[in-house]
Structure 1
Amino acid sequence: MSDFDMMDLPPKIVARLAEMGITEPTPIQKQAIPHALNGRDVMGLAQTGTGKTAAFGVPLVARMLEEGGRPAPRSVRGLVLAPTRELASQIAQNLRGFCEHTKMRVQMVVGGQSINAQIKRLERGADLLVATPGRLLDLMDRRAVRLEDTTFLVLDEADQMLDMGFIHDLRKIAAVIPEKRQTMLFSATMPKLMAELAQSFLRSPIRVEVSPPGKAADKVTQEVHFIAKAEKAGLLIELLDKHRDERALVFGRTKHGSEKLMKQLVNAGFAATSIHGNKSQGQRDRAIEGFKSGDIRVLVATDVAARGLDIPDVKHVYNYDLPNVPDNYVHRIGRTARAGKDGAAVAFCAPDEMGELKAIQKVMGITIPVASGRPWEPMDAPDKPAGRGRGRRRGPRPGQGQKQGQGQQGKPKAAAKPSGGRGRRRRKPGQGRSAAA
């Protein structure tokens, strides 16, 4: 008898979980499922890859089966909101698995697909609807979906939805859902705005927490290469060439940069493709399917793939560009070492990325081992003679750049910028985030 049998779950769900190879609950499932089955609101803190979908999906399906009933036309009984198309697709796939051998209907609506086809599918209503906020609002504006009968609401990866600017969309959606509902919110981090959102959406929630923010999977080995930006592509090709038969996920910061890098890898003879915000949903789906099947060995992606991409056999994750948001690094490397397997995470750090690297190490509470190069040194102090500094330089220490800028505006003791300094300024945290979507 498994722990699932001890949770008062319907026997058909326990049997279905066993068919899916899910026999023992993960820590987040052990903590969340009993409270959710009792009808309590749940606030879960857990990283991706910890079994969160089953933590809310299993009790959601169980409670809806217990209540019975069928959805009215264009109505939804349970709603799951996710930040990206990829994550929504992953959730919908899992929920359909849990609902196998039942009459429950699971639908998904996301951007990048025909809205008319989605309107047609929703005419019969849905027991469970998985949606991205923007597309759901479009359908609500067209009166293609009604949420007046929705009594279950799940917000998955809520912190990422806030990062992507969905806060107003979430409030608009919640405003039309009955107050008498069960709400579950899952997030990898708990910033101040997230705490405020949870307070307004949940009623006396039970808080469950596993895998504290900033903690990577135990079986991920990490290393960093200190390398000039212009030399990154050559090093990546060299490293990828050592394991051509293994899957590798490469993260870039921008859509344009990721596409350009993918083409370089194809020209170098790798079976590579890319996913980012400029790709249609069909292109993104085909890229992921090719990666899962093994036809594609290298997937270049922006942070749209940092969460929700559940492919157990990803052996290597390369942070070609370090993320602006340090928590995204944890999500990125969480794409490897899944299902108890080993994995390797390799980061490339250019001179203008030292700030991002320091922020990542601070969040994780570790110093990432150095594979090659050495940490980029600070800029020379203004009073040092020219030519006495080190050959490798990075930008000014935090705050130093502001003082120099003030000096150029007329304040005393302005420092001239040394020749051969960095070519561009490091992005401020948060800049460029929308470009990666």
Structure 2
Amino acid sequence: MSFESLGLAPFLLRALSEQGYETPTAIQEQAIPLALAGRDLLAGAQTGTGKTAAFGLPLLQHLATNSQEVSSGGPRKPRALILTPTRELATQVHDSLRGYSKYLRIPSACIYGGVGMGNQLDILRRGVDLLVACPGRLIDHIERRSIDLSGIEVLVLDEADRMLDMGFLPSIKRILAKLPKQNRQTLLFSATFEESIKQLALEFMRNPEQIQVTPKNTVAELITHRVHPVDGGRKRDLLLHLLAQDSREQTLVFARTKHGSDKLAAFLDKSGIKTAAIHGNKSQGQRLRALADFKAGRVTVLVATDIAARGIDINELPKVINFDLPMVAEDYVHRIGRTGRNGATGEAISLVAQDEVKLLRQIVRLLGRDMDIRDVPGFELQVPIRWGNSAPGKADSDMGDRGVRKTSHARRPHGDAPRHAHAGPKKTGGGRREGGGGAGQARAAQGQGQRRGGGGRSQGSSRAV
């Protein structure tokens, strides 16, 4: 299927062609024709699936081909509103839409908190057709009466689940109350469809078409997942060891707290690895500068809290490292969604201490797939991790002295694959669950993985969770 077959106008097709877009993604194939037909849309799509174009292209075509009612006096009212959870996502969406509308004259603005109001007020006074905004700052403008939303024809809620997670539901409802109820098209995009999302949709959407291009909480198939058990006190040293293996490789590192991100970034920088940090306590200028330096290769490591798990678009990012596991398993999916995009391979590495074992189990169950678990030579555990008997799945057959092959490749020959942590019991051809000695095998594997020294273990060990 081509973009031409979706019903897009020539001025959009020309801009897409010049940017190198040839074939629509699955979400674009399904969403664009429905949106062009004026339908309300409830769309399930993960970050990195091309959802910005899925709602942005029909929105731009609507603005370009439908004339605006001329109001008497005052600036022109915005005709389309896109709400996003974070400043980074707002600027990314705005930049993408400006690229798609290269051959159109559609005045637009991107408004978010963390910066002064002056420039935003100037732009709004001049009048815009398209507004990309974060809920908090948009409420500020509503209260100042510096914006009139009564002319909105198309509303987009991007990453609606994230906005609800961040506590924006009251703000969203206040904004919706300012929008026209008649003749408004609403497009809601969300990675998940929790009950709160469905309830919100029922309140302000008209018989929405529902599409889901990826199962809930799936991750790109080209991402390899690896876990390195480590004593909590040696995490920083292990991270430095992994990063030093190729100090030129761009890596996004996730930490749990803002303070921890700053400390970790300072440690890595002092150790000779060009590092920047990005989190909610940074000013907007600092965050944009850090992201720009990372994209340009001026820094090779970006340490981030979960604020960066969505909305940061970095082409061909090869590696994401979880220095701390997220407290919510779903956030793992959003974190590693920064890599393995658009057909590229990616690597997701997690450093796991004893107090994070339960979090790891939740992630493995959520993914529904295997995860390699192995020691790093020189960083073997001083106190063996107690994986417990309630961990999901069972160990594969014993690897003996074969050890683990080099991990520089995303794919391994089948015969050399390490043992895995399984997401759950597998079914045999006759439908019976494999089980039997599962827990015992896991304990045996754990015992082998804790041996040291003797007998020529080649590259470390692997074990099952």
**CA-CA distance at 1:356 after TM superposition:** 1.4
In 1, the alpha carbon distance for the partners of 2:127 and 2:386 equals 57
In structure 2, the gaps of 5 or more residues are 376-380, 390-465
* Equivalent in 290, 295, 303 of residue 293 of structure 2: 290
Aligned to 1:158: 160
Q: Deviations over 1:328-367 (max 9, x none)?
A: 1011111111222111100111222122111111111123
Instruction: Give the ranges of 4+ consecutive aligned residues of structure 1 lying more than 6 Å apart after TM superposition.
Output: none
Q: Deviations over 1:184-232 (max 9, x none)?
A: 0000011111111111121111111112122111111110112222111
In 1, the alpha carbon distance for the partners of 2:32 and 2:174 equals 28
**CA-CA distance at 1:375 after TM superposition:** 5.0
Correspondence list, 1:255-270, <5 A: 255-270=258-273
Letter aligned with residue 194 of structure 1: I
Letter aligned with residue 134 of structure 2: T
Q: Are the aligned partners of 1:247 and 1:313 in contact in 2 as well (CA < 8 Å)? A: no
Aligned to 1:336: 339
Check if 1:54 corresponds to 2:53: yes
Q: Deviations over 1:249-287 (max 9, x none)?
A: 000111011111000000110010010001000000011
Letter aligned with residue 59 of structure 2: L
Aligned to 2:80: 78
Check if 1:348 corresponds to 2:351: yes
SS in 1 for 2:371: coil
Correspondence list, 1:81-92, <5 A: 81-92=83-94
**CA-CA distance at 1:77 after TM superposition:** 0.6
**CA-CA distance at 1:143 after TM superposition:** 0.7
Letter aligned with residue 31 of structure 1: Q
**CA-CA distance at 1:378 after TM superposition:** 4.9
Alignment RMSD (CA, Å)? 1.5
Q: Are the aligned partners of 1:74 and 1:146 in contact in 2 as well (CA < 8 Å)? A: no
In 1, the alpha carbon distance for the partners of 2:7 and 2:372 equals 46
Correspondence list, 1:96-245, <5 A: 96-180=98-182, 181-245=184-248
Percent identity of equivalent pairs: 46
In 2, the alpha carbon distance for the partners of 1:310 and 1:371 equals 30
**CA-CA distance at 1:313 after TM superposition:** 2.7
In 2, the alpha carbon distance for the partners of 1:339 and 1:83 equals 23
**CA-CA distance at 1:304 after TM superposition:** 1.3
Q: Deviations over 1:368-411 (max 9, x none)?
A: 210226753459xxxxxxxxxxxxxxxxxxxxxxxxxxxxxxxx
Aligned to 1:419: none
Check if 1:325 corresponds to 2:328: yes
Aligned to 1:367: 370
In 2, the alpha carbon distance for the partners of 1:274 and 1:52 equals 27
Q: Deviations over 1:269-326 (max 9, x none)?
A: 0010010001000000011111111111000001111111111131110011111121
In 1, the alpha carbon distance for the partners of 2:351 and 2:213 equals 29
TM-score (norm 1): 0.84
Q: Are the aligned partners of 1:70 and 1:127 in contact in 2 as well (CA < 8 Å)? A: no
**CA-CA distance at 1:69 after TM superposition:** 2.9
User: CA separation of 1:74/1:138 partners in 2, compared to 1, >3 Å: closer, same or farther?
Assistant: farther
In 1, the alpha carbon distance for the partners of 2:259 and 2:286 equals 16
Letter aligned with residue 19 of structure 1: E
Q: Deviations over 1:159-180 (max 9, x none)?
A: 0000000000000000110012
In 2, the alpha carbon distance for the partners of 1:375 and 1:269 equals 31
SS in 2 for 1:25: coil
In 2, the alpha carbon distance for the partners of 1:80 and 1:378 equals 47
In 2, the alpha carbon distance for the partners of 1:211 and 1:28 equals 9
**CA-CA distance at 1:123 after TM superposition:** 0.5
SS in 2 for 1:314: coil
Aligned to 2:44: 45
In 1, the alpha carbon distance for the partners of 2:203 and 2:333 equals 28
**CA-CA distance at 1:53 after TM superposition:** 0.2
Deviates more, 1:227-236 or 1:166-175: 227-236
Letter aligned with residue 110 of structure 2: M
In structure 1, the gaps of 5 or more residues are 380-437
Aligned residues: 378
Correspondence list, 1:265-280, <5 A: 265-280=268-283
Letter aligned with residue 39 of structure 2: R
In 2, the alpha carbon distance for the partners of 1:90 and 1:49 equals 12
**CA-CA distance at 1:124 after TM superposition:** 1.6
In 1, the alpha carbon distance for the partners of 2:110 and 2:356 equals 38
In 2, the alpha carbon distance for the partners of 1:211 and 1:161 equals 20
